[in-house]
Structure 1
Amino acid sequence: MKTVILVGGSKGIGNAILNKLVGTHQVINISRTAPAESHHNLTHHTCDILNDELPVINNADQLIYCPGSINLKPISKLSLEDFKNDFEINVLGAVKTIQQYLPLLKDGQNPSILLFSTVAAKLGMPYHASIAASKGGVEGLVKSLGAELAPSIRINAIAPTVTNTDLAARLLRNEKMIANITERHPLKKFLSPEEVADMAIFLISENANSISGQVFEMDCGIVSFKI
């Protein structure tokens, strides 16, 4: 049974990944709050990724880093602190985690790393300057480390569009906003956490052995199509 280090598995997409993995994998969750779920394959470590020492773990085959942010403001309202905070959680937290557990992954079975970007890194969207800049950093990290760690460790990222999680709750807070966001996507839908989790599980699986250094846009058509 493979061991997955999952950072941010208590909520949102991370929690959907946790629920899909825990029956068939040893899942080591690292987050500030414990997930509601309990399972004999689940171990939880309470940890603030940016401020605490990461827990000592003995072995791992996969690493999934889920923390993110949605900080939507006009550029005139964004402070340098906003940019720093978004960069820290999205990029530096991922770097810290990868550096900590890379020796374990090098000894793992078919090891891989999965990070998360956003469609806003490709599609110019108003008020997304800070998050797009930080997720652009994530995408650069994926490309660079994909080359550096080949052939021993694969690394990829998923770039979702709006996903129905607590993080996106203010974007989906009423029926009118839900209808507007649905209509903006050519496929006339937005994402569920479970859909993203299915892609995540594929990318860390042996079915994706030939895929590394890639950013997969789960965009419901909003980046790919103009209709």
Structure 2
Amino acid sequence: MKNIVIIGCGQGIGFASAKLLSENNTIIGISRTQNNEVENLNIEFHPMDIISGNLDKITFPDVIDGLVYAPGSINLKPFNRLSVDDFMNDFEINVLGAVKMIQKLLPNLKKSETASVVLFSSVAAKLGMPFHASISASKSAVEGLTKSMAAEFSTQKIRVNAIAPSLTDTNLASPLLSTPEKREASGKRHPLQRVGRADEIAKMVAFLLSDNSTWITGQVIGIDGGMSNIKL
């Protein structure tokens, strides 16, 4: 049984990952919001905004085997309507929050024999998409951070990988999927003709944290219905 910390476990992909992993692991979850189902799962839940919260208030296990940083943002605007604050906010949520968590838990991760860190990028970091400037910039930084840390931590046997989803059916994406017409249009943008599900992404999270992936590090894995690599 592994000790796994999941940031952003209150909803969406973070919650789906916590739900799946809680069956066979000890989960410490941190999130601003809490899904009602969390109470029924084997999760030690801490309500906290990871950016402004005091992590010293949480007693973490001495050994941490996995860290998942799942908070995200969808801030889709034309470039000329994006403010500097928009860019800073997305960078803070997607990048600096991850940096804060990894720095806090690095001593605990070093004590594990099979430590694994999973971050989240986006298909928009690889594929140029209109109205995604702020998200693309911050998620591209996540990919650079992933590869740099994977190299630096490799001698300590800490693996670092990122998952880059496309549009996934979560609360965060609900404005883009609010009608059958929007859902159909969004699905048709993908070669597999549908949007993703949170449980599909969670299965990759579980794989990257498991002993089945111990020779995988520094990778950005696209789970995007083929969008980033296939053109029909």
Same fold by TM-score greater than 0.5: yes
Q: Which residue of 2 aligns with 1:111?
A: 115
Q: Which residue of 2 aligns with 1:200?
A: 205
Tell me the CA shift for residue 58 of structure 1. Answer: 2.6
**Residue 95 (structure 2) pairs with residue 91 (structure 1):** yes
RMSD: 1.1
Answer whether contact 2:194 2:225 (CA < 8 A) is retained: yes
Distance 1:84 1:40 in 2: 34
Distance 2:160 2:92 in 1: 20
What per-residue deviation string (whole Å, max 9, x for no partner) do you get for residues 88-145 of structure 1?
Answer: 0000000000000010000023101000000000010000000000000000000000
Q: Which residue of 2 aligns with 1:31?
A: 31
Amino acid at match of 2:151: A
**Number of residue pairs aligned between Structure 1 and Structure 2:** 227
Amino acid at match of 1:91: V
Counterparts of residues 96-175 of structure 1 (less than 5 Å) = 96-151=100-155, 152-175=157-180
Counterparts of residues 56-75 of structure 1 (less than 5 Å) = 56-59=59-62, 60-75=64-79
Provide TM-score, normalisation by structure 1. 0.97
Q: Which residue of 2 aligns with 1:41?
A: 42
Name the SS of the counterpart of 1:150 in structure 2: helix
Q: Which residue of 2 aligns with 1:78?
A: 82
Name the SS of the counterpart of 1:216 in structure 2: strand
Q: Which residue of 2 aligns with 1:16?
A: 16
Pick from 197, 220, 223 the counterpart of residue 215 of structure 1.
Answer: 220
Rate the CA distance shift 1:154–1:175 in 2: closer, same or farther, 3 A. same
Distance 2:35 2:21 in 1: 14
Answer whether contact 2:184 2:194 (CA < 8 A) is retained: no
Structure 2: segments with no counterpart, 5+ residues: none
Percent of residue pairs bearing the same amino acid type? 48
Distance 1:50 1:16 in 2: 22
Tell me the CA shift for residue 173 of structure 1. Answer: 1.0
Provide TM-score, normalisation by structure 2. 0.95
Distance 1:32 1:50 in 2: 10
User: Runs (4+) of structure 1 moved beyond 4 Å?
Assistant: none
Tell me the CA shift for residue 39 of structure 1. Answer: 4.7
Amino acid at match of 2:149: L
Distance 2:27 2:61 in 1: 13
The farther-off stretch of 157-166 and 37-46 is 37-46
Answer whether contact 1:22 1:39 (CA < 8 A) is retained: no
Answer whether contact 1:3 1:62 (CA < 8 A) is retained: yes
